[in-house]
Amino acid sequence: MSFGLTLPPQIKVFGAFFIYSFCMGSIYPRLPAIQEFMGVAEGALGLSLVGAATGTLISLTFAGPLLDRVGHRRVLLAALPLLALLYAIAVWAPSPLTFFLLLVPVGLVIGCIELIVNLEADRVEHAIGRRIMNRAHAFWSFGFFSAGMVGALAAQSGLSPQWHLALMIPVITLLTALVLGKFEPAAHRAGGNTEASPRFARPTLAILVLIMVCLPAMIMEGAIIDWSAIFMTKEFTAAPFWAGLAVAIGAGSQAITRFFADSFVDRWSPPVVARGMLAILGLGTVLVFFAPWQPLAYVGLALTGAGTSALFPLAMSAAAQRTDRPAAVNVASLAQISFVSFLLGPPLLGFVAEHFGIRWAFGIGIPLVIIALMFADSLAPRRKANPVAAQ
């Protein structure tokens, strides 16, 4: 594909993250309408959403060799429009089981895109000599924010989720062609380890501690994505625009915080940043859980989004710095267990919402934050042993 803009490599990475999340995020502001279309309760909707997480976990585990064989450029240029098409098909599902089955291929494509864009961000970061990973994920959040705003406007206008997601197909195709039409994958890191990673990396006790630190961020990010629009509809009878806006607010505050996250970590230590993020996250979940009026709930969602922004990247850095096993194994272990959390998150929160009330989909984050604060010191950089002192 020769059509497209000539852009610096890091801008292409930012664009890829934005387009990917703009496509992926379009369905979540429409979940209240999709739930009404299927006529189901929160528990059944939560179980159906596991389809995408299941496909993603499968893809992340097995797709690497296939992507290398087919080529990252070819896969990325095809996968983004394909993702939009699969979402457009999935929203026609008449039942939770059908929705689950249609979301599995969505997840398979998401996993491929996830692997490509994160690997490309790492390689470009190495090539240009400065960090861009947190900023790349900020653009992922900006894409989700944009999808939330567009979805909120579409919902308020009365446009059905089916037409909305169908219109996303040409939009995503055009954006992909413009921004990534001249995309060429960056070279491998010089001297990198080329050995295959294990299919499943067993978590050590240290990795489980790191998971406890970032678990509230992962669960609460899922709560904002999956349940905030439904929360606004049920608790405040919000109009479609104001319900969809809840998704955008959480993603927008997360994006802004991620954009500046690297400077926070450079200025203060990872445990200090983590405690600050957990405090913000805890305050946000408390405000959402107890909010008596809609504006206060929006403030809580904004704080919750900001609090989720940097905890997972900090945990990934801490895992990579551990010396008990190769860095790739520790990182893979943390990432795989994290995706299991995403896998279990939607049905857990849906079950909680259906049986205890939609507010508890956010209230469950309060004890998780308290536990995480107890383990924040595990994010401290590992000190390398002094070879002289060791003799």
- The stretch 22-27 carries a mean pLDDT of 92
What is each CA distance from 119 to 21, 187, 203, in whole angstroms? 16, 11, 22
pLDDT bracket for residue 385 (50, 70, 90): very low
* Range 334-361 average pLDDT: 79
Could you give the CA distance from residue 123 to residue 116 in angstroms, rounded to a whole number? Answer: 11
Q: What is the pLDDT of residue 20?
A: 94
Is residue 198 left, alpha or beta, with left meaning phi > 0 and alpha meaning psi from -120 to 50?
beta
pLDDT at 360: 92
> Model confidence over 46-89: pLDDT tens digits?
889 889 888 988 887 788 788 888 888 999 999 999 999 999 99
Task: Report d(CA 324, CA 287) in Å as an integer.
Answer: 40
Q: Which of 16-25, 31-40, 96-105, 376-385 has the lowest mean pLDDT?
A: 376-385
| pLDDT for residue 388 | 40
Q: How far is CA 7 from CA 15, 53, 116, 184, 190, in A?
A: 10, 32, 18, 11, 24
Higher pLDDT among residues 11 and 199, named by residue: 11
**Entry pTM:** 0.81
Distance between CA atoms of residues 50 and 342, nearest Å: 8
What the chain holds in terms of domains, given with CATH numbers, is 1-183 (1.20.1250.20), 199-381 (1.20.1250.20)
* SS3 assignment, position 115: helix
Query: For residue 227, what are the CA distances in angstroms to 25, 45, 345, 356?
Result: 13, 10, 11, 14
According to the model, what pLDDT value does residue 384 have? 47
Quick: pLDDT tens for 28-43.
889 889 999 999 888 8
Average pLDDT, the chain: 85
Taking each continuous run of H as one helix and of E as one strand, the counts in the chain are 17, 0
Q: pLDDT-derived band of residue 307, with 50, 70 and 90 as boundaries?
A: very high
